[in-house]
């Protein structure tokens, strides 16, 4: 890009400002439909009003390449880099859709949501929501099942990435469950468990966690049949851990969101037995890294 910009400035009219030229080049080479469409796009024309035939009046051609061909190198490199990033971030979704279809989904997303953050790690922030907003049966009363699998897999893979790149429990003092086991019932009822910052909870219509793990283990899984699945993710020792839950565990963990005390969750008919059950489950979840403290 630096060499292209140097060529532009050498051959530019004196009235062209550097910031405007940078903005124009970025607009042209990031247009999803190519250099011609980029030059003639409204955004580019508002910055620098030239036709495609006037491109060499602005950008110097080399001995071997025309101005358009030089631009095309940066255009291809730009999208190649972004597509590589998406393949790295969503290997399971890429496997499920196949390379060609997956890249069509990505290009459609990038057209609607061009990168704005300096970090390439943030380019997929709205990818899952885009898939939801553009699902082919969005306006149909009867929904197809396969878009649910694609969307849920994207949601899980993005969560996996966010947890991996976020704060885990590596430097966190871990709770000693022995203290919890000897708490008097009166005190136990009053505690409010606080989830770990890396803890995530999901309910899916498909077992996407099993599919993701199979792909990451370099297996070749087929798209599974629908099956209600409840999943928890957390991070310990710099590893993202996935745990399958029962529906009852999922419901309880939803309520243990940092706002409720144990006494708020007790069955009024058998409170003592329920308190013991919740305490035992909580001890296991603390060991797994679901909770960091209680107050």
- DSSP letters for 27-38: HHHT-TT-HHHH
Residue 129: what pLDDT?
95
According to the model, what pLDDT value does residue 163 have? 97
Question: Residue 286's closest CA among 193, 157, 212?
Answer: 193
In the chain, what is the greatest distance between 2 CA atoms, to the nearest angstrom? 87
pLDDT value at position 193? Answer: 96
Scan for tokens 């928890």, then name that residue.
232
Give me the residue spans of the domains in the chain.
Answer: 2-79, 80-146, 168-294
At residue 14, the pLDDT reads: 44
Backbone angles phi, psi at 215, to 5 degrees: -65, -45
DSSP conformational letter for 222: P
Report pLDDT for 2.
Answer: 52
- Looking at residues 212-227, what average pLDDT do you find? 95
DSSP classification of residue 226: P
Rg (CA), the chain: 26
pLDDT (mean) for 193-216: 97
**In the numeric block, which tokens belong to residue 53?**
């035939």
- In angstroms, the CA 63 to CA 60 distance is 10
Question: Which of 9-13, 21-25, 69-73, 236-240 bottoms out in mean pLDDT, i.e. has the lowest?
Answer: 9-13
pLDDT tens column, 125-136 = 999 999 999 998
Asked: is 168-294 a CATH 3.90.930 domain? The reply is yes
Tell me the DSSP string of 174-235: PP-HHHHHTS-HHHHHH--EEE-TT-EEEEESS-HHHHHHHHHTT--PPPPPP--EEEEEEE
Listed residue (190, 171, 181, 214) closest to 264, CA to CA: 190
Give the per-residue pLDDT at 11. Answer: 52
């Amino acid at each position: 890009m630096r060499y292209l910009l140097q060529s532009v400035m050498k051959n530019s009219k004196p009235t062209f400002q550097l910031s405007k030229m940078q903005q124009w080049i970025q607009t042209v080479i990031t247009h999803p439909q190519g250099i011609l469409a980029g030059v003639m796009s409204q955004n580019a024309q508002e910055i620098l009003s030239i036709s495609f035939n006037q491109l060499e009046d602005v950008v110097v051609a080399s001995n071997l390449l025309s101005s358009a061909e030089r631009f095309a190198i940066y255009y291809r490199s730009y999208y190649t880099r972004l597509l590589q990033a998406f393949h790295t971030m969503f290997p399971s979704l890429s496997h499920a859709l196949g390379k060609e279809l997956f890249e069509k989904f990505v290009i459609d997303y990038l057209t609607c949501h061009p990168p704005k953050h300096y970090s390439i790690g943030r380019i997929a922030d709205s990818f899952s929501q885009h898939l939801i907003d553009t699902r082919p049966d969005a306006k149909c009363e009867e929904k197809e099942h396969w878009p649910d699998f694609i969307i849920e897999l994207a949601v899980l893979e993005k969560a996996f990435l966010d947890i991996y790149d976020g704060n885990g429990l590596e430097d966190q003092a871990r709770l000693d469950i022995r203290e919890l086991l000897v708490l008097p019932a009166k005190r136990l009822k009053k505690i409010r468990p606080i989830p770990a910052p890396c803890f995530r909870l999901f309910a899916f219509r498909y077992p996407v966690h099993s599919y993701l793990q199979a792909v990451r283990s370099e297996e070749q899984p087929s798209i599974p049949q629908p099956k209600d699945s409840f999943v928890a993710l957390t991070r310990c020792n710099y590893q993202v851990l996935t745990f399958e839950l029962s529906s009852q565990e999922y419901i309880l963990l939803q309520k243990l969101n940092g706002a409720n005390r144990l006494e708020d969750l007790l069955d009024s008919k058998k409170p003592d037995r329920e308190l013991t059950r919740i305490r035992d489950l909580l001890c296991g979840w603390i060991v797994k890294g679901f909770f960091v403290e209680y107050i």
